[in-house]
Amino acid sequence: MYQDTGKLYVVATPIGNLEDLSLRAQRVLSHVTWVAAEDTRHSKGLLGHLGLATTLISYHEHNEQERTLILIQKLMQGEDGALICDAGTPLISDPGYLLVKKAHENGIPVIPVPGPCAAIAALSASGLATDKFLFEGFLPAKAAARRRRLIELVNYPHTLIFYESPHRLRSMLDDCMDIFLPARKACIAREITKKFESIHLNTLQNIVLQVKNGDIPVKGEFIMMIAGYEIKANPSSEADQEIERILKILLPEMSLKQAVSITTQLIGLSKNVIYDCATKLKNET
Ligand code: SAM
């Protein structure tokens, strides 16, 4: 029934170094009828570099509802199109989910053209465990929501990957050190594939120091990775310390009941044990 539809190509583009654009990506971008791009002025530069004048259609978070309908129509009429973003892989903390979903719903073939992705590039060079990981993307912008999310992740046992903008990096690092503790291993990757690329594997405390003393300039693009929580040899005393640590963060922010409930979910021990510890801490303050 849908034999005559076009194809939607989801094309990864460089995150800094134009040499990272694959030959296949170049070929696809040259044969499609149109390219849907987040910022058409930015993408015009990429197409210009390839000597292409393919039609660009703007597709970003503020027009994606309306544009998705138009692009699906074009694909249904037999046009081949490509989706790109400003840098890296579309849909990874970037627009495109709605378009890809609707393409599937309409029987339109969706074809990935893989290539750069900042999170995967950073992880591969981080020196942190790569067997399992959680890609968290951007944390909430508001401090309280950000801290709440970090608290939820404190016991996650595999590497955590965050995108972060330079103007929030310092406060994010302070929260991470507070919540994950200064000795937790972490890696910060800056300006990957660009002139000032640098990748630092260290403790959170030392990374914060390096940022403070200017060894890691807060300019450009960053990825922050944090080692997963390690369960240590002596579980009972570790667990006690962990309960106390989490409660000390939560109690000033919320009621005793809420703090006990969240800590119970995080630690997975009896509520009574956690309640006793919380009342003891509350009485000490
Ligand atoms: N879709 C992209 C991808 O596949 O990586 C990510 C887009 S997201 C809107 C932008 C964020 O990715 C930046 O704030 C930064 O955290 C990260 N990023 C992108 N390019 C980077 C680079 N060259 N070096 C370090 N981080 C980068």
pLDDT in tens, 71-98: 999 999 999 999 999 999 999 999 999 9
Distance 243 CA to ligand 1 centre (A): 35
Q: What is the DSSP string of 25-38?
A: HHHHHHHSSEEEES
Distance 28 CA to ligand 1 centre (A): 23
Which pLDDT score, from 0 to 100, does residue 282 have? 83
CB-based contacts of 47, cutoff 8 Å, min separation 6: 29, 35, 53, 54, 56
Q: Are 41 and 147 spatial neighbours (Cβ–Cβ below 8 Å)?
A: no
Q: Are 34 and 81 spatial neighbours (Cβ–Cβ below 8 Å)?
A: yes
Residue of 163, 169, 190, 218 to test ligand 1 pocket, by largest number of atoms within 8 Å of CB: 163
Which pLDDT score, from 0 to 100, does residue 265 have? 80
Q: Are 208 and 174 spatial neighbours (Cβ–Cβ below 8 Å)?
A: yes
Residue of 61, 222, 225 to test ligand 1 pocket, by largest number of atoms within 8 Å of CB: 222
Q: Which backbone phi and psi does 82 adopt, to 5 degrees? A: -125, 145
Which pLDDT score, from 0 to 100, does residue 243 have? 87
Q: Is the pLDDT of residue 3 over 70?
A: no
Distance 88 CA to ligand 1 centre (A): 7
Which pLDDT score, from 0 to 100, does residue 276 have? 80
Distance 228 CA to ligand 1 centre (A): 22
Q: Is the pLDDT of residue 249 over 80?
A: yes
Residue of 10, 13, 15 to test ligand 1 pocket, by largest number of atoms within 8 Å of CB: 15
Q: Are 135 and 158 spatial neighbours (Cβ–Cβ below 8 Å)?
A: no
Residue of 221, 222, 224, 225 to test ligand 1 pocket, by largest number of atoms within 8 Å of CB: 221
Instruction: State the pLDDT confidence band at 232, using cuts at 50, 70 and 90.
Output: low
Nearest residue (by CA) to ligand 1, atom 19, is 118
pLDDT 10s digits, 126-153: 999 999 999 999 999 999 999 999 999 9
- Which residues are near ligand 1 (CB < 6 Å)? 15-16, 85, 87-89, 92-94, 117-119, 163-165, 189, 191-194, 221-223
Q: How far apart are CA 96 and CA 172, in angstroms?
A: 27
Ramachandran class of 66: left when φ > 0, alpha when ψ lies in -120 to 50, beta otherwise: alpha
pLDDT 10s digits, 29-49: 999 999 999 999 999 999 999
Which pLDDT score, from 0 to 100, does residue 273 have? 76
Q: What angle do CA 224, 230, 235 make, to 5 degrees?
A: 150
Q: Is the pLDDT of residue 113 over 60?
A: yes
Q: How far apart are CA 50 and CA 105, in angstroms?
A: 33
Distance 115 CA to ligand 1 centre (A): 13
Instruction: State the pLDDT confidence band at 283, using cuts at 50, 70 and 90.
Output: confident
Kindly give the number of the ligand 1 atom that is closest to the alpha carbon of 164: 16
Distance 196 CA to ligand 1 centre (A): 15
Q: Is the pLDDT of residue 238 over 90?
A: no
Kindly give the number of the ligand 1 atom that is closest to the alpha carbon of 162: 16
Kindly give the number of the ligand 1 atom that is closest to the alpha carbon of 117: 4
